[in-house]
């Protein structure tokens, strides 16, 4: 019974390693595509101007004041609560 258990554990570990490898490859591909997209956006001049108050949102996040950061983000962008919460969480 011990050998069968070790065999299944080994298979599980190998499966996890395989999945992690695929995730790493996908992450690298996504990063490469994002870099290319950033270059295209910059070339076309489509980058949105950044509101100077976004620095305030980041500072609030660093100070563990997530709720206030969400409030300020909503004031700046006019976003709804869920949208602002999701955006602020992505910034963290």
Is there a single domain that holds both residue 42 and residue 56? no
Q: How far apart are alpha carbons 11 and 7 in whole angstroms?
A: 6
Kindly report the pTM of this predicted structure. Answer: 0.48
**Which residue segment(s) compose the domain that 1 sits in?**
1-47
3 state SS of 57: helix
Residues 2-31: tens digit of each pLDDT = 888 898 999 999 999 999 999 999 999 999
- Spatial neighbors of 68 by CB under 8 A, at least 6 apart, are 60
Number of domains in the chain: 2
Residues 36-80: tens digit of each pLDDT = 998 998 888 887 667 788 889 999 999 999 999 999 999 998 999
Is there a single domain that holds both residue 1 and residue 32? yes
């Amino acid at each position: 019974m011990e050998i069968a258990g070790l065999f299944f554990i080994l298979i599980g570990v190998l499966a996890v390693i395989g999945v992690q490898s695929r995730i790493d490859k996908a992450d690298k591909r996504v990063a490469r595509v994002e870099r290319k997209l950033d270059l295209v956006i910059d070339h076309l001049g489509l980058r949105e101007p950044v509101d100077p108050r976004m620095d305030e949102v980041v500072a609030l996040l660093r100070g563990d004041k997530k709720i206030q950061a969400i409030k300020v983000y909503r004031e700046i962008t006019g976003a709804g609560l869920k949208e602002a919460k999701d955006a602020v969480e992505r910034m963290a």
